[in-house]
């Protein structure tokens, strides 16, 4: 099968609710082991950090960092809050979904508390009134002090944790994938759901002064792809959802090594046919061609014929009633002539637009004949209902001399249905396959992915594609490198490290190598490494750090530190942010205090005056 002929159905996978896990005894003995939480804006991952092989060395919980609160019945009864995988599918609840993050910084602490409650409950933390395990929690690069303060307050005041350690997710991933003796230097490029960061690391420590952030990530790529396909297929506007766009990005998109050159390739019909992916939207087969058997078709014709007969009988009865009322009116006017009431008779003729009694009599005769014929037709139709009329054609009424307008309507309605009830001829019946629509309904519900496969992920290199006035990864990387002397630049480019869920596109490593080759001096060397697991390495690195520093005091914020130094306090370590304490400016002396010193007044004030 040719590559261009492949059709990929959307999986539309539903999230399975997280089970309540029973922790092993090694989690609590001889002392409670740390609980590692990778608090990402896209996904939360949690698990235990223990050197004991009985404890799994992988995240036990993985769920989207989302919560939804249903309104329930009136008065608030029955309201329910669902978190993460308990949502099942995000699309039916898209308008109810809420996230504790603004970009990659948690700001809604009540929602963050729901996520932590979900983690502790599903991991089986059974301590009463508190969480007696140390917590290792990831935070954003250069996290605002207020956000850390609120998080520390939540952990120490609400959950009564003994100690906590904060670290940067991309630095944990860098720590987990270190390829030489630690400490080492490198340039970390991390791209996640909301943001992309360029982080220089010198001698194992983050150089926070030269960190740069690009406010673009997987979320913006999904929204851009959704907009492209909705403009291309307006007939499937509602079916092009964000969840399906994320699936396309994860499984069908790639980064072009040379974007302009790749677009030129897509102009070729052969290249388009060989590399285009077709995404099959769900549709109903009920709209396809008829698959009825001949018996079902005949039964349907009989039902339609019965309905037509009932309709014609109802029309005849209405016509008979109307003609009978007209006839009674004309007979009453004729009685006026016989009784000698000439004034009323002539007045009635004028109302009927008639000139003489002869014209009145002629109209009465025609109307009487029409009434009799209609009565006969009604009687004949009642007899025909009891007879098998499958092979008979519906009766075509005669044109009446009066009321010809209604008779013509009857004839036209009969003629419209006459092709449906033609005489059955089984020997020349057309096959069922001939009754097919003029277009392929399955193909109508397909999305053809051509240049969209490279246009959506390209925004991290060219933010101008979506109208963002920002620099891309290549320009930002060059700007960061130029802030260092040439010797340090050469050290940094020897270990360019790519991590984050938005770095998993095929071809991204080759694109970064190409950009570095263009910006570095001639014949200079550099190395680009991709994380072994860009999505999970942050959690693995945090676990590695927790196991190594479990018995040390370095990097851990105790409750005593929290009470003495405030919630924004941070103990630095190899994968943490740089702590910048709040320095309040000195208050200038007041104007009154700046003047001459006040004198002590004694005695009678009037005497002093």
* pLDDT of amino acid 602: 40
Sequence spans of domains, the chain: 219-277+449-465, 298-383
Average pLDDT over residues 188-195: 96
As a whole number, mean pLDDT of residues 41-69 equals: 94
> In the prediction, which pLDDT does 387 show?
52
Secondary structure of residue 181 in the 3-state scheme: coil
Q: Mind listing the pLDDT tens digit for each residue in 220-265?
A: 999 999 999 999 999 999 999 999 999 999 999 999 999 999 999 9
User: What pLDDT, on a 0 to 100 scale, did the predictor assign at position 394?
Assistant: 44
**How large is the average pLDDT for residues 389-415?**
45
Q: Span 517-542, mean pLDDT? A: 94
pLDDT value for 145: 94
| Residue-wise pLDDT tens digits, 109-128 | 999 999 999 999 999 987 77
Residue 337, pLDDT score? 81
In this predicted structure, the answer to whether residue 426 has a pLDDT above a threshold of 80 is: no
3-state secondary structure of 433: helix
Q: CA 174 to CA 169: how far, in whole Å?
A: 9
| Lowest-pLDDT choice from 75-79, 81-85, 112-116, 400-404 | 400-404
Predicted confidence at residue 235, as pLDDT, reads 93
pLDDT above 90 as % of the chain: 58
Q: What is the mean pLDDT of the chain?
A: 84
pLDDT at residue 155 greater than cutoff 60: yes
Structure tokens at 204: 């194992």
State how far the alpha carbon of 280 is from the alpha carbons of 5, 59, 261, 518, in Å: 12, 33, 29, 40
Q: DSSP letter string over 442-455?
A: HHHTEEEESTHHHH
Tokens of 547: 């196991």
Options 1.10.3470, 2.40.50, 3.90.640, 1.20.1630; CATH of 219-277+449-465:
3.90.640
**Count of CA atoms in the C-beta half-sphere (13 A) of 493:** 24
Residues 541-546: what's their mean pLDDT? Answer: 95
The tokens for 436 are 């097919």
Segment 23-27 mean pLDDT:
88
Q: Give residue 320's pLDDT.
A: 87
* Pairing label, strands 97-98, 163-168: unpaired
| pLDDT of 420 over the 70 cut | no
pLDDT band at 600 (very low <50, low <70, confident <90, very high): very low
Q: What is the pLDDT of residue 321?
A: 87
The confidence score (pLDDT) of residue 439 equals 66
Give residue 395's pLDDT band: very low, low, confident or very high (50, 70, 90).
very low
pLDDT of residue 417: 46
Average pLDDT over residues 554-566: 94
Binned at pLDDT 50, 70 and 90, residue 425 comes out as very low
SS3 298: helix
pTM: 0.72
pLDDT, tens digit, 9 for 90 and up, residues 350-366: 888 887 888 888 888 88
pLDDT at 358 (0 to 100)? 83
What is the arithmetic mean of pLDDT over 292-320? 85
Which runs of consecutive H residues, i.e. helices, occur in 96-239?
Answer: 109-122, 145-153, 169-176, 218-232
pLDDT at 99 (0 to 100): 94
What Å distances lie between residue 254 and 196, 249, 504, 574, CA to CA? 17, 8, 9, 33
- Asked which of 91-95, 239-243, 574-578 is least confident by mean pLDDT, the reply is 91-95
Q: What is the reported pLDDT for 76?
A: 54
What the block records as the tokens of 147 is: 């956000």
Interstrand relation of 35-39 and 43-48 (parallel, antiparallel or unpaired): antiparallel
In 438-587, alpha helices (H) = 441-444, 452-455, 473-481, 486-492, 508-519, 537-548, 559-565
Cβ–Cβ under 8 Å, residues 201 and 171: yes
Q: Which of 398-402, 457-461, 478-482, 510-514 has the lowest average pLDDT?
A: 398-402
% residues pLDDT > 70 (the chain): 83
Q: Say how far apart CA 594 and CA 513 lie, in whole Å.
A: 63
Say how far apart CA 345 and CA 184 lie, in whole Å: 120
| Neighbour-count burial of 337, counting CB atoms closer than 10 A to its CB (0-12 exposed, 13-18 middle, 19+ buried) | middle
User: How many whole angstroms separate alpha carbon 291 and alpha carbon 82?
Assistant: 44
Report the range of poorest mean pLDDT among 335-344, 392-401, 463-472. 392-401
4 pLDDT more than 80? no
Q: Which of residues 365 and 608 earns the better pLDDT score?
A: 365
What separation in angstroms does the CA of 190 have from each of 147, 220, 476, 489, 597?
21, 16, 12, 19, 60
pLDDT value of residue 30:
83
The predicted-structure confidence for 200-225, as pLDDT tens digits, reads as follows 999 999 999 999 999 999 999 999 99
**With contact defined as beta carbons under 8 Å apart, do 385 and 394 qualify?**
no
């Amino acid at each position: 099968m040719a590559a261009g002929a492949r059709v990929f159905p959307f999986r539309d996978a539903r999230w399975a609710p997280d089970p309540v896990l029973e922790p092993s005894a090694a989690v609590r003995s001889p002392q409670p082991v740390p609980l590692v939480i990778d608090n990402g804006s896209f996904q939360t991952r949690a698990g235990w950090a223990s050197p004991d092989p009985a404890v799994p060395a992988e995240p036990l919980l993985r769920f989207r960092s989302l919560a939804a609160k249903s309104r329930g019945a009136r008065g608030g009864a029955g309201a329910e809050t669902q978190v993460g995988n308990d949502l099942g599918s995000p699309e039916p609840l898209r308008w109810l979904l809420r996230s504790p993050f603004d970009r990659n910084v948690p700001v809604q602490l009540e929602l963050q508390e729901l996520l932590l409650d979900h983690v502790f409950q599903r991991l089986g933390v059974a301590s009463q009134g508190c969480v007696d395990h140390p917590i290792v929690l990831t935070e954003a690069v250069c996290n605002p002090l207020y956000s850390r303060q609120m998080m520390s307050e939540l952990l120490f005041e609400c959950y009564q944790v003994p100690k906590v350690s904060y670290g940067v997710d991309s630095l944990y991933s860098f720590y987990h994938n270190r390829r030489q003796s630690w400490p080492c230097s490198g340039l970390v490029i991390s791209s996640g759901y909301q943001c992309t960061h360029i982080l220089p690391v010198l001698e194992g420590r983050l150089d926070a002064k030269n960190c740069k952030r690009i406010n673009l990530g997987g979320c913006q790529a999904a929204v851009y792809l959704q907009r492209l396909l909705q403009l291309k297929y307006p007939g499937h506007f509602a079916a092009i959802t964000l969840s399906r766009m994320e699936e396309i990005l994860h499984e069908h998109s790639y980064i072009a090594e040379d974007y302009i050159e790749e677009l030129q390739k897509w102009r070729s019909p052969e290249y388009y046919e060989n590399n285009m992916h077709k995404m099959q939207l769900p549709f109903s087969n009920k709209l396809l061609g008829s698959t009825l058997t001949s018996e079902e078709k005949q039964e349907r014709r009989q039902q339609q014929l019965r309905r037509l007969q009932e309709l014609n009988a109802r029309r005849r009865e209405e016509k008979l009633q109307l003609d009978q009322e007209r006839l009674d009116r004309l007979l009453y006017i004729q009685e006026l002539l016989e009784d000698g009431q000439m004034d009323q008779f002539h007045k009635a003729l004028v109302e009927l637009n008639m000139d003489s009694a002869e014209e009145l009599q002629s109209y009465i005769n025609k109307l009487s004949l029409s009434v009799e014929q209609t009565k006969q037709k009604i009687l004949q139709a009642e007899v025909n209902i009891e007879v098998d009329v499958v092979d008979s054609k519906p009766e075509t009424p005669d044109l009446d001399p009066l009321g010809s307008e209604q008779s013509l309507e009857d004839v036209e309605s009969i003629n419209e249905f006459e092709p449906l009830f033609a005489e059955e001829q089984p020997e020349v019946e057309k096959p069922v396959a001939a009754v097919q629509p003029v277009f392929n309904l399955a193909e109508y519900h397909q999305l053809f992915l051509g240049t969209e496969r490279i246009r959506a992920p390209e925004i991290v290199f060219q933010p101008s594609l979506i109208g963002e006035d920002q620099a891309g990864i290549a320009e930002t990387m060059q700007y960061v490198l130029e802030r260092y002397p040439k010797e340090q630049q050469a050290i940094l480019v020897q270990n360019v490290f790519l991590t984050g869920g938005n770095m998993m596109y095929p071809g991204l490593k080759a694109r970064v190598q190409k950009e570095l080759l263009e910006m570095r001096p001639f014949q200079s060397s550099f190395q680009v490494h991709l994380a072994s697991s860009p999505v999970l390495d942050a959690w693995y690195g945090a676990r590695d750090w927790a196991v190594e520093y479990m018995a040390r005091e370095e990097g851990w914020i105790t409750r005593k530190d929290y009470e003495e130094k405030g919630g924004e306090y941070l103990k630095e370590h190899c994968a943490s942010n740089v702590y910048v304490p709040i320095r309040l400016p000195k208050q200038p002396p007041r104007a009154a205090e700046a003047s001459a010193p006040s004198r002590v007044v004694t005695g009678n004030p009037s005497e002093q005056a």
